[in-house]
Amino acid sequence: MKPVKKRLDMLNEELSDKERQYSELEEEWKAEKASLSGTQTIKAELEQAKIAIEQARRVGDLARMSELQYGKIPELGKSNWKPQRSSEGKTMRLLRNKVTDAEIAEVLARWTGIPVSRMMESEREKLLRMEQELHHRVIGQNEAVDAVSNAIRRSRAGLADPNRPIGSFLFLGPTRCGEN
C-alpha cells in the first residue's frame, strides 16, 4: 500500500505544480491580451481622428481640424503604448500583432514535414552550385554565367533593388542566337 500512497502523493504534487504553471501562464496571457487590445483601441482612435480631420477639411471646418490635428492626435500619440511589450517591459511571448518569417517557416515545416533548416539549407546549396549547373547548359560563356550567378545571388541576398528586374542578359552563340 505504501508505494501506491507515494505514487499518489507524487502525482498530486505534480498536478499542483502544473496547475500553478497554468495559472501563471493564464495571467501572462491576460496581461498581454489587455495590452494588445489597448493598442488596437488607440490605433482605431487614431484612424478615426484622421478620418474626422479629412471630413472637416472637406467641409472647411478649420476649428475642428486644428482641434483634432493639434489636440487629439498628439494626445493619442503620447499614450504610452508599445505593441510588443507588456507593462513590466518584458517581450510578449504568447500573443503578437505580426507574424514573423520564422513562424511562417515553422508552420510550413509542420504542414509539409520538411524541416525548416533543410529548406533554408537547400536554397543555400542551390546558390553555391548554381554556376556549375549553368556551365553544363551554357557552354563557352563563362563571363555571362558569372554575371548571371552574381546577379541572382545579389537578388536572393536582398542586396538588389526590389523594384527593378534581377538582370537583363543577352546570350549569343551559333545556335539559337539571342536567347535571353
Task: Write the pLDDT tens digit of every residue in 54-90.
Answer: 999 999 988 888 888 888 888 887 775 554 444 445 5
Report in angstroms the alpha-carbon separations of 109 from 106, 126, 157: 5, 19, 22
User: Cα torsion for 158, 161, 163, 165, to the nearest 10°?
Assistant: -90
Report in angstroms the alpha-carbon separations of 76 from 54, 63, 65, 175: 17, 19, 15, 68
Over residues 3-29, the mean pLDDT reads: 92
CA 166 to chain centre: 24
All structural domains of the chain with their residue ranges = 2-96
Which pLDDT band, with edges at 50, 70 and 90, does 38 fall under?
confident
Please say if the pLDDT value at position 98 is more than 90.
Answer: no
The set of cell numbers assigned to 175 is: 545556335
